[in-house]
Amino acid sequence: MVIVEFYGSTLDSDLRQMIQQNHVSGVLIENKNNNAQTRSQLVALDQAMQNAAHVPLFISTDYEGGVVNELRQITGERPSDAQIGASKDPQQAYKAGSGAAADLRGLGLNVNFMPIVDVLVNANNPGLPQRTFGSDSRLVTDMGRAYLKGLTDGGVVGCLKHFPGLGSANLDPHLALPRMDRSLETLNAVDLVPYRTLIHEGNVPMVMVTHIENPQLDPNLPTSLSPRVVTDLLRKNLNFQGVIISDTLWMGGISNTYNLSQAAVLTVKAGTDLLLGPRGLNETQTMLYGLQQAVKTGQISTSQIDASVTRILELKLKYHIIGHDIALQFAGS
């Protein structure tokens, strides 16, 4: 249930331990961690990690375009979402998604945390420079649909983000927790339109929940830690049956208030299946220990863990990351 960050460009002892002994679900490839140096190096690393894994891994990244592109050193520049959205042509978004899928599969990656379906309510949003398709919810929906189809047609898992909508923020959640006092009626009319539409159409593999303070949704907890948002709104109200993943738990929007174990436990209690957040072996083991203690003390039920693991394995099976033999082993246990 955990996707980890790691340091360097080789399968060192720490990374091997996270994969083989801690049984992480996957890894996040990041430029700042020096994971992707050259094409041949990254291909070799991804093959080595998959060969070491008992259950094949999600190998994920943020392969966006414009400002955010974790593979820029290897693949060069890509158009931003703002540029694609300005064309108002979904075929351009489809080409961007299918091109991203071809690049990623060629490098051994299988998950892209895209498309961004935030509706840009605040034009000066500091966390989304050039990262959205636009300010019209219908345009964002159409472009997001096309990009996602390009990705998934190319065999790469896509992920809608940043639920329940970061478009009106005036703070970057990497640094602090944005307060966005938006009613459910407003969210339904604007921010949630892409999610509701695309989830209803049945082609969304994964949704990422981000860190927002919205007292109209939950007066006590950030969105990413809130059962009202994750379970009641996303899982039940919008009827999303796929994998729910947290935004990174070391981001300031969470880590300024909660330590990693607290955040992980609250995130799972909220209903999240897959956690982004630990950096390196020590943080990974700390997070897993916190989760294990929460299960032992009854804060988190084993049935909830089983449900999340089932959704994760079903997604890996659907995208041919694992085979039926591995899925049957878990079913038998």
Per-residue confidence (pLDDT) for residue 327, from 0 to 100: 75
Report how many domains make up the chain: 1
**How, if at all, do strands 111-112 and 68-69 pair?**
unpaired
Give the pLDDT mean for 201-224: 98
Q: pLDDT digits over 22-34, tens only?
A: 999 999 999 889 9
Q: Would you state the torsion angle of the CA atoms of residues 102, 155, 203, 114, taken in this order, to the nearest 10 degrees?
A: -40
DSSP annotation of 319: T
Calpha distance 94→305 (Å, rounded): 35
Q: pLDDT digits over 123-144, tens only?
A: 999 999 999 999 999 999 999 9
Distances (CA, A) of 234 to 60, 192, 196, 200, 307: 23, 10, 9, 12, 16
User: Which of 248, 246, 245, 228 is closest to 237 using CA atoms?
Assistant: 228
User: Quick check: 332 pLDDT over 60?
Assistant: no
User: Quick check: 3 pLDDT over 90?
Assistant: yes
Q: Using an 8 Å Cβ cutoff, are 100 and 75 in contact?
A: no
Residue 50 sits in which domain range? 2-332
Q: Using an 8 Å Cβ cutoff, are 221 and 266 in contact?
A: yes
Q: String of b and e for 140-174 (b: at least 16 CB within 10 Å)?
A: bbbbbbbbbbbbbebebbbbbbbbbbbbbbebbbe
Q: pLDDT digits over 147-206, tens only?
A: 999 999 999 999 999 999 999 999 999 999 999 999 999 999 999 999 999 999 999 999
Q: pLDDT digits over 72-92, tens only?
A: 999 999 999 999 999 999 999
Q: Specify the pTM.
A: 0.97
CATH of the domain at 315: 3.20.20.300
